Amino acid sequence: MLTAAPAVILVLLVLGAALIMVGLQSLGLMPVFGEPQLSLNAWADSTSLLESAGVSVYIATLSTVLSAGLGLLIAVYALTAGRGGRLVAAVSAATIPIPHLVASGAIGLLLADAGFLARLFGMPEGFPQLVATQWWTAVILEFAWKESAFVALVILGSISRSAMALSETASTLGASAWQRFCHVILPLARLPLVVSGLVVFVYTLGSYESPWLLGPLAPEPLSVRAVRLFGSTQLSARPEAMATALTSVVIAVLAIAVGLLLVRRSGDRS
Amino acid sequence: MSSQLSFSGISHRFGAQEVLTNISLEAPEGSCVALLGASGSGKSTLLRIAAGLERPSAGRVLMDGEDVSEVNAEKRETALVFQQPLLFPHLSVVDNVAFSSRMAGHSRAAAHRHACEYLELVQLAGYARRMPGQLSGGQEQRVALARALARQPRILLLDEPFSSLDLPLREDMYELLETIREQLRPTIVLVTHDRREASVLAESIAVLDHGEILQHGGVAQLHHQPASRAVNRILGGLNEVPGVVRGGAHHSPLGRVPVPADTAEGPALLVPRQESLCLTAVEGAQALGRVTQVRASGAHSLVRVALDRGPEQDQEQAAVAVEVTGSPELRPGDITGVALQNPSGWTVTR
């Protein structure tokens, strides 16, 4: 416990100071200019804030679900398919160091109306609109592509040593391939899946580049709204930017709390 | 419940390396056959082939004469207990033992009732609700055994299941296995590198070395009539006395020792076990020698003796190890007599 103290104190100091400043600025108590005055003006446009929060939660939820599902499949394939599986795992892992900004650009070039795929198919009229759509398809696909590799890596790191031996044991006890997946691999992968899913949710909730590049102009997710307001030439918009960022933090903290509850319950059961 | 298991001409390769070569072996219904060999001898691979976890490169696996080589592990009606218990960490003890019943489609209640019978058999009925992490190593291995038995396999395969346990626990497990054999009469194939374990548990032992069966026979036969020097060594035999078989007897510094009538004449090694030799008084001794080492080993001692050359000029120098009870009053350099306790001996030529 004591050995972790220096790191914890440092994190608390930086994070605490930042959050206090953000909170004070959002309440008008630390203005860029003028006298400090308690005000809820930054929180007044709650409709827009809630809409942004809804979009962010929608993108993060779908991205997390897709990443978790894909990551689990990649991990199971890597565990069971021998050399082919190891190749898939290596290719998946290679996506991790690519920055989201670059990945978003690549996905845009691939999926846009006049992108690589559309040209490959001869630019048919029925080619679906995937970039800047109201469903945030390209954004979610970009997150799913990048984060599924992360999820797979976490699962593989956690269960690869025990999963094969336990799976073989299950097969000698009469379990079919599907039963082994449901009754052995999935329960073993549950904890790393929840933990990595939680990381993906919080990350995608706060990630800016992909929604900014591949999403529609409106409505804005919290991250894009916060950056736009923060960079606005109107310094009076700064408290609104802070309120938006703080909303993102509150949602992330709630997600972490729910996730930890799930992890603890999972631990109690096993 | 039990069946006959046969391996017919089994060979297996991992890439370019052949790990099993033309293995043919039978485990009769209700018997216990031990596969004994050092690490890398191929014994665990043979067991995995029996379980259906590996497909042999050549040859067939037969159960009651039926070829099951192409049958998947989950449909093969065998159960395998590994060196590590490999209990499912997310399931309680009773759920682990009920696993095969649940996979077969039985209700949770029925599977639990069935599992409890086997937990009683391994004397762990009171541990049903515990999680694997709350058990000791011995208890975990008992649960693994109960889980395998609950599958009601035609063949029970044991891959060094007791090697990670300490000695008293191992003795307990031997007794438990004896009880299980009395009650259920399963056919058992046991893989072990421990010759004592093989001797205690099995009726017959197949000695594997570099992917080949060197000899398969009864426990006493393998100990006292090994087919080769390698088998003698793997079974713990320490003595190889060079000499010549002539006129129905082996002639060596140990003297004239009668051998079976069908033994081929010519140079041969006499392989008396250290337990079959005894130290005698110098006067009138079958053979004489000088003590080179006395090593205590619990209640026994191992005395190494360099034998004097016999009356025949062409006899080679020989040394023997003699296991004696207690601690003999001998020191290196002392002269002692050595004799065979049995009236006849056994020779090998390779």
Task: Please report where in the chains the tokens 């360099």 appear, as a residue.
Answer: B306
Residue A201 in contact with residue A60, Cβ under 8 Å?
A: yes
A269 touches chain B (CB under 8 A): yes
Each domain of chain A, given as residue ranges in start order, spans 39-269
Give residue A267's pLDDT. 65
B339 touches chain A (CB under 8 A): no
Confidence class of residue A115 from pLDDT cuts 50, 70 and 90?
confident
Scanning B87-116 for CB atoms below 8 A from A yields 88-90, 99-100, 102-104
Q: Is the dihedral of CA B254, B222, B229, B194 positive or negative?
A: negative
Give residue A269's pLDDT. 56
Q: Do B89 and A270 touch (CB under 8 A)?
A: yes
Q: pLDDT per residue over B87-138, tens digit each?
A: 999 999 999 999 999 999 999 999 999 999 999 988 899 999 999 999 999 8
Q: Judge if pTM exceeds 0.90.
A: no
A195 touches chain B (CB under 8 A): no
B14 touches chain A (CB under 8 A): no
- Beta-carbon pairs below 8 A across chains A and B: 66
- Paired residues of B322 in beta bridges: B303
Say how far apart CA A156 and CA A145 lie, in whole Å: 17
* Chain B residue with minimum CA distance to A267: B90
Task: Find the Cα–Cα–Cα–Cα dihedral B59, B60, B61, B64, rounded to 10°.
Answer: -140
| Residues of chain A contacting residue B72, judged by C-beta atoms under 8 Å apart | 171
H helices of chain B, where? 43-51, 93-97, 99-103, 108-121, 137-150, 167-184, 195-201, 219-224, 229-234
Q: Do B148 and A175 touch (CB under 8 A)?
A: no
More confident residue, B198 or A115: B198
pLDDT over 90 (residue B172): no
Tokens (6 digits) for B235: 């079974």
Give residue A54's pLDDT. 96
Tokens (6 digits) for A17: 């100071």
* Chain A residue with minimum CA distance to B81: A169
DSSP track, chain A: -GGGHHHHHHHHHHHHHHHHHHHHHHTTSS-SSS------GGGT-HHHHHHHHHHHHHHHHHHHHHHHHHHHHHHHHHHHSHHHHHHHHHHHHHTTTS-HHHHHHHHHHHHSTTSHHHHHTT--TTPPP-TT-TT-HHHHHHHHHHHHHHHHHHHHHHHHHHHHHHHHHHHHTT--HHHHIIIIIHHHHHHHHHHHHHHHHHHHHH--HHHHHHS-SSSPPHHHHHHHHHT-S-GGGHHHHHHHHHHHHHHHHHHHHHHHHHHHHHHHH-
SS3 B266: strand
SS3 B337: strand
The DSSP letter of residue B8 is: E
ipTM rounded to 2 decimals: 0.86
Confidence class of residue A36 from pLDDT cuts 50, 70 and 90?
confident
Least confident of A230-239, B12-21, B225-234: A230-239
SS3 B262: coil
Query: What region, left, alpha or beta, does residue B245 occupy, with left being phi > 0 and alpha being psi -120 to 50 degrees?
Result: beta
Q: Do A173 and B151 touch (CB under 8 A)?
A: yes
pLDDT over 90 (residue B56): yes
- Paired residues of B268 in beta bridges: B243
Q: pLDDT per residue over B271-320, tens digit each?
A: 999 999 999 998 888 889 999 999 998 889 999 999 887 666 566 778 99
CATH for the stretch A39-269: 1.10.3720.10
